[in-house]
Structure formats: structure tokens, C-alpha cells
């Protein structure tokens, strides 16, 4: 007796049969398990964070806020840093918070917001939480803002997008070193360079005094259609003359692109004056799509690449223990050359040196005077080499350059100098010569 029903052919009865009991228990424990999942999580209960993101009008990218202080409703202060967005705690005991942002340049912006703040009990363990919603901007001093979401968050996100007018005043430059990797692959890499100063010729203002940098941002002259800069490098940036000149030409348009900003000057059609520019190679940079970055943008992008041609005549010498490949440091008193009065590496302690071959000859002789940790008497070693010089265009911007190959030792009275199998000079330099040091 009794009604039977089944699950896909499995008979189950309301009479106390085993299968029905099993099904009942299954459902019961499933419900129990589901209800256990409802335990609240006590972490970060309040959604009282206001997310503000910063942008520049007309730019898809984020703007960087450089703030020294962010004050919230009077005395409450959050110390800020450099950021493209900030999450600020709103006062949930009231329905308004006033925000004052002090920038690194001393300027201030205000943002006053109102909202609904409600409270809800969560659990004995967690206590209560504040629920904020209905966010509105009552007042602000920014160029423009947009309310993205009126519900404050628990930690981040964007509630308000702040836009500022673009300031088309800054050009980006990068310093790069050209080289050939492998046998023929041409490459360039950013080169961190010591700078004495960079002078904007149109204003006389100096930048990057005694700084080391690979990317530079310099102002452009908006009252003219060209800007000239004088670079004074601490190292020679590829040539003996450490002072280089860069001249860029461009078009300046004064138009009202954004209503909030009024008429502004915009710079485009940037190009290098190759006659007055004295860098090895200078060119307009390309974006990831291969398009020329000839428009000055805000935030600033790298518009100009300043490239250093490779030094093709540097042969590398290694000092090592006799009959081993173990390097040995020497205290160099001087390294002199037979074609120049220059003294190289004086006072340095090193295991390798890069020595410039004479570009106007097929032989060069170096005199290396040094001491070692175990021998304080000065030792003089002569490195006399011959080589084959050929002329080739490695980089179009660098013109015809000498290349050096087939190095040979021409004098070796102490039998302590040898040319290695890598006997062609490369860029960057590879070890061509080994000197045994006792």
C-alpha cells in the first residue's frame, strides 16, 4: 500500500522505506549546509570610501595627482602621495564631507559631497555597518568632474572622475644607445646618462642639473614655432664634445577645444631641425601602432628619441691569472695610447678595460701600468695590435662608420698577451684580448 513516486525510475514511497528516508535526509542536510553559508563576513563592513580618479580632458589615460595633503572636513587629514586615484573615507556619522586637496605646487582644490548614511545591524560578532548611497557633488573647484557611481565603495573603485584642462607645455625625450646584437640585429636601449645641465635656450632656464636620467621632460616655447635646448652631459654621450644641441620645430594652434578651459595653445607637427641638432641621431618617436608622436600631449609622452651611435673601435681587454680563465683585479696607474695623449683608467681597480683602437691606422699600441695586491711594484705591459679596418653603414642616422676585425698581437716580448677567438670588435664590446697577470 501507499503511493509511490520516483526519481528517474527509482521508486520511493511515503511509507517509511529506506529510499525515502535517504531523500529526506539529503534535502534536510542540503538546506542546513546552505544556511551555514549565510554567516556574515565581518571584514570591511562599511561602504564609506569615495573613489576619485584623475584624468586629463581629451586624454584616455590617467592623470597623476601629486598631493601633499588631503584634508577631510576640517581637522581630519590624510597624507597623500603621487597617485592616479585615491580612496577617501567619508564621514558616515553625517551626510556630508568636505575634501580639500593640496597639491605639490601649493594649489588647492575643494570637493564637497553629500550622501545618505544609514546603519544596519549585522551580527553579534560583527556589530553594525554603515550603508552609504545617493552620493552627490554639492560643490567643487576642479575644471570638470563626472559622477560615475553614487554608491561609495568598501575599498576602492571610482565614484567621481576628475578632469583637468590639458597643459600642452611639456615635451618628452628619451636617451638611447644604438647597438648591434648578434651578427646584424640593430637595437636601441634607453641609456641612463649623467647630465650636468640642460638649458632651454628660449628662456635660459636650466633643468636636470647634476642629475642622471634616461627620460627627460622639457618645456616647449609656446610663443615661437621652435625650441632650442643645450645639453651638457657629464659623460660624452658618444662623442668627445659633451655639449649637444637639439632644435625642434612645430606648429602652434590657439583654439577652444574644451569649453571649461577656454582658448588654449596646442602643439603639433613636431619635427627635428637636423641641421642645427648635433646629436648623433635624433628622431620623432613612434607609438605602438607605428604612428608618429609629433603632437605634444598631456600627460606628456616621449616625442623625441635622442640616439647615441655605437662606438665601433672599443676592444675589450681582460686581466687574468696565468694559464687560467680566472680574472684578476689590477690597480691601474695609467693606460696610454700611441696615437693620443689621453690617459685612461688612471686610479681605477678593475678586471677589464675597453680601449679605443686608432681609427686612422691599422695598428695601435697601448701601455698599461699597474700594480696588483701581491706585487706593489709597477708593472708595464704593452698591448700592440694590428687589425683590418672596413667602412660600413651600421645605422642610417650614424652614417659610415669604421669597423675593426681580425685583431692580431704584433709585439709580445713577455708572452703574456693573447688575442682570443673573438677577434672582431663588436658593439657593445666583447672581450678580444687577454693579459696574464702574475
Partner 1 sequence: MKSINILLLVLCSSLAFAQKDTTAVIPADTAQSKWYIPTGVRIGTDALSIARTYYSKSFKGWEVNGDVDFGRYYLSVDYGYWARDYASDKGIYDNDGNYFRVGVDVNFLTKDPEKNMFFIGARYGHATFSEHLVVEGIEDPVWGTLNENLQNVNINGHWFELTTGIRVKMWKFIWMGYTARFKFGLGTNETGRLVPADVPGYGRTDKESVWGFNYQLFFRIPVRKSPAIITEKDKK
Interaction site with partner 1 (CB under 8 A): 1-9, 11-12, 14, 23-24, 27-28, 30-31, 33-35, 37-38, 40, 72, 76, 78, 89, 91-93, 117-128, 131
Strands 352-356 and 314-320: antiparallel
* Minimum distance, C-beta of residue 79 to partner 1, in the bound complex (Å): 12
* Shortest spacing between CB 13 and partner 1, in angstroms: 10
Shortest spacing between CB 7 and partner 1, in angstroms = 5
Contact 49, 90 (CB under 8 A): yes
Q: How far apart are CA 438 and CA 431, in angstroms?
A: 20
Nearer to partner 1, 131 or 180 (CB): 131
> Could you tell me if 404 and 389 are in contact, meaning their C-beta atoms sit under 8 angstroms apart?
yes
List the one residue out of 65, 56, 295 whose CA is nearest residue 166.
Answer: 56
Query: Which cell numbers in the block locate residue 376?
Result: 706593489
Nearer to partner 1, 6 or 359 (CB): 6
Question: What separation, in Å, do the N-terminal and C-terminal C-alpha atoms of the chain show?
Answer: 109
Q: How far is Cα 403 from Cα 312, in angstroms, rounded to an integer?
A: 6
β-partners of residue 136 are: 114
Q: Exposed/middle/buried for 167, CB within 10 Å: 0-12, 13-18, 19+?
A: middle
* Interacting residues of 267 by C-beta distance below 8 A, sequence separation 6+: 168, 220, 222, 250, 251, 252, 253, 295, 296
Kindly state the smallest distance separating residue 133's Cβ from partner 1, in Å.
10
**Which is closer to partner 1, CB of 93 or CB of 325?**
93
- CA torsion, ordered 255, 257, 262, 266, to nearest 10 deg: -50
CB closer to partner 1, 32 vs 275 = 32
Cα 309 to Cα 304: distance, rounded to the nearest angstrom:
16
Tell me, what DSSP letter sits at residue 245? Answer: E
**Closest CB to partner 1 among 76 and 274?**
76
Least CB distance from residue 154 to partner 1, whole Å? 14
Which cell goes with 408? 692580431
CB of 111 to partner 1, least distance (A): 16
Helix (H, G, I), strand (E, B) or coil at 100: strand
Q: Which is nearer to partner 1, 16 or 182 (CB)?
A: 16
Rounded CA-CA distance 341/21 in Å is 103
Q: How far apart are CA 421 and CA 287, in angstroms?
A: 41
The smaller minimum CB distance to partner 1, of residues 15 and 136, is found at 15
Q: Considering the complex, state which of residue 7 and residue 275 has its C-beta at the smaller distance from partner 1.
A: 7
Is the Cβ of residue 15 or residue 146 nearer to partner 1 in the bound state?
Answer: 15
The answer to whether the CB of 108 falls within 8 A of the CB of 67 is: no
- CB 134, min distance to partner 1, A: 13
CB of 35 to partner 1, least distance (A): 5
- Give min distance, CB of 138 to partner 1, in A: 19
Amino acid at each position: 500500500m501507499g503511493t509511490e513516486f520516483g526519481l528517474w525510475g527509482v521508486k520511493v514511497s511515503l511509507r517509511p522505506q529506506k529510499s525515502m528516508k535517504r531523500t529526506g535526509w539529503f534535502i534536510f542536510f542540503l538546506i542546513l549546509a546552505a544556511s551555514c553559508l549565510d554567516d556574515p563576513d565581518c571584514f570591511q563592513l562599511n561602504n564609506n570610501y569615495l573613489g576619485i580618479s584623475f584624468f586629463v580632458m581629451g586624454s584616455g589615460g590617467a592623470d597623476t595627482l601629486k598631493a601633499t595633503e588631503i584634508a577631510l572636513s576640517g581637522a581630519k587629514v590624510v597624507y597623500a602621495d603621487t597617485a592616479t586615484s585615491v580612496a577617501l573615507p567619508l564621514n558616515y556619522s553625517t551626510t556630508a564631507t568636505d575634501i580639500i586637496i593640496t597639491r605639490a605646487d601649493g594649489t588647492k582644490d575643494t570637493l564637497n559631497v553629500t550622501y545618505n548614511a544609514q546603519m544596519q545591524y549585522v551580527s553579534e560578532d560583527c556589530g553594525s555597518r554603515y550603508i552609504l548611497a545617493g552620493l552627490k557633488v554639492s560643490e567643487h573647484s576642479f575644471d570638470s568632474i563626472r559622477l560615475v557611481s553614487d554608491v561609495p565603495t568598501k575599498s576602492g573603485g571610482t565614484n567621481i572622475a576628475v578632469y583637468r584642462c590639458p597643459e600642452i607645455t611639456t615635451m618628452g625625450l628619451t636617451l638611447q644607445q644604438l647597438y648591434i646584437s648578434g651578427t646584424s640585429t640593430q637595437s636601441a636601449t634607453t641609456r641612463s646618462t649623467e647630465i650636468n645641465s640642460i638649458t632651454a635656450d628660449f628662456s635660459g632656464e636650466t633643468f636636470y642639473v647634476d642629475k642622471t636620467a634616461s627620460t627627460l621632460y622639457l618645456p616647449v616655447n609656446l610663443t615661437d614655432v621652435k625650441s632650442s635646448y643645450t645639453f651638457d652631459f657629464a659623460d660624452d654621450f658618444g662623442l668627445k664634445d659633451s655639449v649637444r644641441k637639439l632644435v625642434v620645430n612645430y606648429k602652434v594652434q590657439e583654439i577652444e577645444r574644451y569649453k571649461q578651459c577656454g582658448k588654449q595653445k596646442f602643439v603639433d607637427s613636431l619635427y627635428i631641425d637636423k641641421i642645427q641638432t648635433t646629436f648623433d641621431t635624433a628622431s620623432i618617436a613612434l607609438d605602438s601602432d607605428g604612428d608618429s608622436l609629433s603632437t605634444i600631449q598631456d600627460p606628456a609622452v616621449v616625442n623625441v628619441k635622442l640616439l647615441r651611435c655605437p662606438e665601433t673601435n672599443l676592444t675589450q681587454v681582460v686581466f687574468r691569472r696565468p694559464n687560467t680563465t680566472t680574472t684578476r683585479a689590477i690597480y691601474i696607474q695609467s693606460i696610454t695610447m700611441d696615437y693620443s695623449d689621453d690617459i685612461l683608467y688612471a686610479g681605477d681597480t678593475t678586471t677589464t678595460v675597453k680601449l679605443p683602437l686608432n681609427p686612422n691606422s691599422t695598428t695601435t699600441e697601448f701601455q698599461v701600468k699597474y700594480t696588483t695586491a701581491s706585487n706593489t711594484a709597477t708593472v708595464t705591459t704593452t698591448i700592440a695590435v694590428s687589425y683590418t679596418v672596413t667602412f660600413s653603414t651600421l645605422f642610417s642616422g650614424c652614417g659610415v662608420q669604421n669597423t675593426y676585425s681580425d685583431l692580431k698581437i704584433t709585439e709580445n716580448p713577455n708572452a703574456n698577451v693573447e688575442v682570443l677567438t673573438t677577434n672582431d670588435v663588436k658593439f657593445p664590446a666583447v672581450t678580444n684580448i687577454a693579459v696574464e697577470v702574475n
